[in-house]
Structures are given as C-alpha cells and as structure tokens.
Amino acid sequence: MRKETFSRTWFVILACFAACTLWGSAFPCIKTGYRMFDIGPDDFASQILFAGIRFFAAGLMVIAYASVFERKIIFPSGPAWKKVIVLSFLQTSLQYALFYTGLANTGAVNGSIISGSGGFFTMIVGALFMSSDRMTLRKTLGCILGFGGILIMNITPDFTLEVNPAGDGLLILSSVSSAFSSLMMKIYAKGENPVMLSGYQFAAGGLVLVLTGVCLGGRLDSAGPKGIILLLYMAFISSAAYTIWSVLLKYNDISKIAVFKFIIPVMGVILSAVFLPDADIDASCMAALALVVAGIFTVNGKRQLST
C-alpha cells in the first residue's frame, strides 16, 4: 500500500471507524471480564493484573504479526528503546492503570462517553506542541461542546454536579495520558516503524502492569475457556486498534485523526446496551453523546469531508 493512501480521507474514515469500534467494544468486555474473573471495584491489584495480561498479550500479537510481515524478527534499535519506554508508560502503564481502576468505579456507558473526550484532549495537546495543529475558534467551540457533554452526563436530577473522582475522574486523567501518548507517537513515528513501537510498548507496559498486580497481591479466578477467549479478544482489540491509530498518526495531523474518536463513545454505548443487561442509558447519556458528536463535527466536519 502506498504511503499516500494513509492520508486519503476515505482510508482515514474507514481505518478510524474500525479502530474506534474496536475500542468501543472494550468497555462491555472489561465489565464482563470483571464479573467472569470475580474482580471487585476495590480490588486494584487484580484490576491491574487483568489489564497487564491483556496488554502483554497484545504486544506479543503485534510483534508476531510485524515479524511475519517483515519476514524477520523486528526489534528496537538502541535509541528506539527510550521511545518504547516513554510510550509504554504514557500509553499502557499509566493510562490503563487509571482506565481500569476508573472503569471499575463507574458504568460502562459513562466510561465510554468520558473516554470519548480523549479526542478533545488530544487536539488541545496537539495545538500546544505541534505548529501544524494550532487551536482555532472552531476547535475551541468543539472542545466546549464536548466538555459540555461530560458535564450533562454528571448532573443529578436536582441539577447539582456529581463527579465520582474514583471513577469519572480517573477516566479523564486516563484520557489526558492518552493525548500525550498520541503526541509522542506522532513525534517518534517520524523516524521509527510505528508498528514496532506499538508492539514493544504494549509488551513492556503490560509486563510492568502484570508485575505490579502480582506484587500487590492481585489474582484472577479461573473463568475457563470463555475467560481465555475474552482475554485474547481484548488483546486483539488493543493490538489492532492502536497499531492502526499509530500508522495514521505517522501520516496525518493529530487533529485530523483525533476528531474521529467520537466513534468510541457511540460504539461503547451501543455495544454496552447490547451486551450488558444492567447498562444504564438515559436521556442525559444521549444528550451527552449528541454534544460530543456536535463538538467533533464543529471542529473538523467540513474540512474532513472536503479533504
């Protein structure tokens, strides 16, 4: 496939939709996994262990795929290891320690919508550090609409703001970590194979999470073949989605890619409603989704369609 294809609008739309749909499916999967492996909302160690196994397996999947594709075992050069370590901390160790802990303390629907704010954080970070992604009035208005969606979702019936720091708060911090990860991947991918970086950062970050979970006393109860299948699918989600995302970041502006993250909360809500019988979808969730989508189209809608 020619490099020019990776920046064509039709390819970007299809690839982003595929990646974000996979990410959206992670929310009901994680909730299901917590039940299958008997992981409680306060069991931080087991949550981290569960995440670590998923991402370590995802890293092995990406490395194996890339090695077969390249017809040789891919391995980071000396200088590339520093980049792998930075990415593994921001994208895997820190982000998903916050994400898994936060999701254990909030609903899958709320989690998917809040995580959709990652696109706005990514645009803000890109505007601050990338000269090609400066903030404009359109982007500012889009960010306001997106954050408005998060606020509406957390307003109680008596019109007071209710934010769960152990749940919603940690998910927001997770999105911030993801935004900086996207920035660093954009910078590092200029001189490195983004697929190689993806594979090794997942493996390194996942190993850190596994060791942390084990040292803190985490454990996973046996869930049988269904549990193994679930973990393998979740590893595939990460390996496929993030690899697609990292390749797109290499050939496109951050804001052009970040704008499509609205698909994550949309698919997260839909898939949670389908697979989780206790998923709570109400008017505030739908209003939040509407504002998130409106914010994204405000930021880049016309430009994306005309590219």
**Chain centre distance of CA 155:** 25
pTM assigned to the model: 0.79
pLDDT score for 260: 75
pLDDT score for 104: 78
User: Facing residues of 161 across strands?
Assistant: 155
pLDDT score for 86: 94
pLDDT score for 108: 65
What separation in angstroms does the CA of 173 have from each of 38, 93, 134, 179, 277? 26, 13, 23, 10, 28
User: Is the torsion defined by CA of 3, 69, 193, 268 positive or negative?
Assistant: positive
pLDDT score for 297: 74
Buried b (16+ CB within 10 A) or exposed e, 52-73: bbbbbbbbbbbbebbeeeeeee
- 3-class SS letters over 217-241: CCCCCCCHHHHHHHHHHHHHHHHHH
User: Facing residues of 155 across strands?
Assistant: 161
pLDDT score for 307: 40
Task: Give 10-residue mean pLDDT values along the chain (307 residues).
Answer: 73 87 86 89 90 94 92 88 93 86 75 70 82 75 75 62 71 88 88 90 94 93 88 93 88 78 74 70 73 72 46
pLDDT score for 299: 66
